Structures are given as structure tokens and as C-alpha cells.
Amino acid sequence: MRNHELRWYRAQSVLGKGRFYICLKEERTMSYQTPRGTYDILPDEMNRWHHTEEVIRETTKRYRYREIRTPYFEETKVFKRENDSSDMVNKEMYTFDMGTHSYTLRPEGTAGVIRAFDQHKLYGSMEMPGRFYYLGAMFRHENPQKGRQRQFTQFGIENIGAKSPELDAETIALGYDIVKQMGISSIKVCINTLGDDASRAAYRTALKEYFQPHLEELCGDCHRRYEQNPLRILDCKVDHDKECVHAAPKLADYLNEESKNYFNRVLACLDALEIPYEVDDHLVRGLDYYTHTVFEVVSTRPDSGAQATIFAGGRYDHFVEYYGGPEMSGIGFAIGMERLINLAAEEGHDFGDENSCDVYVIGLGDVGASVLKTVQQLRHAGYSAEANLVQRSLKAQFKSVDRNHARYVVILGEDEVKNNTMNIKNISDKSQVIIKQEELLETLKQWENK
């Protein structure tokens, strides 16, 4: 919309010989929009979010995870670690300087949780492993598209302080349970191992030797990855279809026996849990701190396209000590809430209706104080209740009853207030009775127990 818009009006000639148009004034108009890559969640959409958050909180509670909340921005060095080759760190962070300090809006949740774990020495005050979950906004300067925004909401878990194949499988099972509870059945688990430090070092050497004569075939980002972490070339969205990438050495060929045994035990645990999976030897994940098990759970719906990944994560062995803590292993994953909700909706998941009203109180005449007293009584008794607090016709108020999907209706007129009575109607069976005002809650309770 233009900021300055001329308004033209048709006028009649004073002499009556025709019409002409004149510009009477200039009106200033303004149109404010959300920044690119952000969005509003409107009231009619909130039910899906509340329902999904409830599923997450109930599931993490059963798995004995506890919520942790960290700042929306941290010192840049929390995220920008030495020689990190990830696109997130190199191209997508929102960073700003305040005096002598550099800060960054959090692009992911793990780093802040580990920083808090170390800063508050939680490894000394709670039973290990520490089980944490977070839920909140993240920020990445990406190209906005379906299911991917610059401000997005992420749920994630971190299991810190212990290392075992069983914990890896349990972590995948937690995310898998959440996805299934959201009614998403068209999914598969993709899993791989990056091995231990020795295995990865041998594999990096092999990849550098292999890709050296193919560098001219690779994109500019992969030239940087070649120097920093050649494993990340396998994860490149630009070069992933090139023959030189497909023909690259397989990490499985460079795993030592310890790494192979660890991974085989993870797979055996998934078999025991009857969680289907597919080993993907090109899966390396987009962040540099992973070791051993890495995984993605993706949608198999044909229309998922590039946004098929529902949740993803892996194990990390050196992250805790990076922030000054002891040598400890951890594992976690993150789910993009927008993708989770959209996929659930596309598969027809029932999010319920939290906007329905238990009781609507209709007022007729000068009875506003009595109506307000009644609706407050209902709310304090645990009912969701709404009332007509302005003068409207009975017909108009019953339209509000329908729009609010009310289950019961209380009608208060001047005669009812005078006689200490009220008219109460059950919408489902059309029954209607006149009761004393003090009998309201008991009557509703009886109807609830029918």
C-alpha cells in the first residue's frame, strides 16, 4: 500500500453541464507488516499450539525431563566456536555489538543449555544424567519458505552426563512418541554413526584425499568445509546430487571396533522398541559437535518436499568441557514446532476445541450487575463462562451462544433477578428448567453427571 494516496471525488458542475473529478485532499496511509521471515499466531490458531505443547510437556514428564529456560540472546562466543563449519554459525546468525561485547540471538537451544549446565555446576547438584527440555523462539537468517522462518519455535531435549547405546535409543523413542501422539504416521527414522574421535579423524583424512581433485566441482561453501570439516560436504544441499559426493568413501569403512559395537547396540535397542529405522551413511547433521549416533526423523508424505525433517539430533562428547565443565557426554534433539503442527494438521489430527464455552449468561434488561456476579461465580467454580455485558436483543445473544459453542445457557431478566430465579438451558438435549439462583452449580453438576 502506498504511504501517500490521493483521494479523488466525483463532483457535479455548478452550471449543470457535466461531471468532473477533483482532488480534495491528500490522505496519509500506513501499512505495517511483520518482518520477513516472521509471523503472527492469531487467536484462532493458538489451540493447535496449546495442544501440541501439552502433548510435549506430558510426554517429557513421563520420561522424567525437566524444563529449563535460557536467555534469547547469549554472548556470540557461546555459539561461534572455534573452526565451526556449520552454515548456522557462518551465515545465519543475528549478531549485534553492544560496546565491547558481541551478542547473538540464539539460533539453536543446545549451546545455551550446556552453558547453563556448566555455569550453575548442575553436574554437582543433581543426579546424572541431567534431563532437560526447552521450548521457545530461535532466530536464523535463512531464506523464508514453508516450514522455515527466520524466527521459529523449537522444542528440544538434552540428556547430559551419561553415555550408553540405551540412552541413545531412549532419546529417539521420546521424540518418536511425541510425533506419533500428534497423529503423524507417515514417518521414518534415519540414523547413522560418526564414530569416536579416532574413527572420525581417519575418515576426515580419507575425505580430504578423495575430494582434493574434485574441489572445482564443489560449491564455495564446500571449499570452506573442506578445510574445516570435510564431513559436512556430505550434508551440502547444493552438491548432494553430484556423482563425486555419492561416490565418496563411506564412514562405515573407517569405524574402529568400539564404534561399530556401540552403533550396533543402538540399532538392537531400536529393534527391541520396535521403532523402524533406515541406516543412512550420508547423514552427518548440520552442526559440528556431534559424535557417535546421529539421527533424523522425516516425513514420508510426498508433499513434504525439502521440509521433510520433523526432528533431528545426536550425541556429543566434548561439548560440556568446551564451556568449562567436566568431561561429559550428552545427547539431544530438536523439533521445529511449526513443522510438527503443520504435518499433524495435514494428517487430520484432532487438536480439540479449547475455545468452546461451558456456560453463556444472557442478560435481559437492567441486570448487568447480576449477570456479572453469576458469570464470576461460574468461573470461580471452574467453568469457562462468558456473559452479555452490553444491551443486546435476545436473538443477538443466542447468536453469541452458537458462536461460542456454549454447552449451557443461563438467562437472567429483571423478573428473574427480582424473584431470585434463573432460567437454565442444556443445549445438547434442549432441556430447560427454572431454578433458584443458589441451585445453579448443583444443577450443572447433575447435568454433567448424566
Q: 154 a known binding residue?
A: yes
State how far the alpha carbon of 184 is from the alpha carbons of 157, 177, 352, in Å.
20, 10, 16
CA distance 450 to 308: 46
Q: 150 a known binding residue?
A: no
**3-state helix/strand/coil string of 284-316:** CCCCCCCEEEEEEEEECCCCCHHHCEEEEEEEE
Q: 354 a known binding residue?
A: no
Q: 110 a known binding residue?
A: yes
Q: 176 a known binding residue?
A: no
Cα 361 to the center of its chain, rounded Å: 37
Query: Where does residue 7 rank: exposed (0-12), middle (13-18), buried (19+ CB within 10 A)?
Result: exposed
Q: 437 a known binding residue?
A: no
CA distance 310 to 292: 21
Query: Where does residue 378 rank: exposed (0-12), middle (13-18), buried (19+ CB within 10 A)?
Result: buried
CA distance 41 to 262: 43
Q: Which amino acid makes up residue 268?
A: A
Q: 289 a known binding residue?
A: yes
Note the residue count of the chain: 450
CA distance 309 to 335: 9
3-state secondary structure of 210: helix
CA distance 235 to 237: 6
Binding positions for L-histidine: 108-110, 140, 154, 158, 285, 289-290
Binding positions: 108-110, 140, 154, 158, 285, 289-290
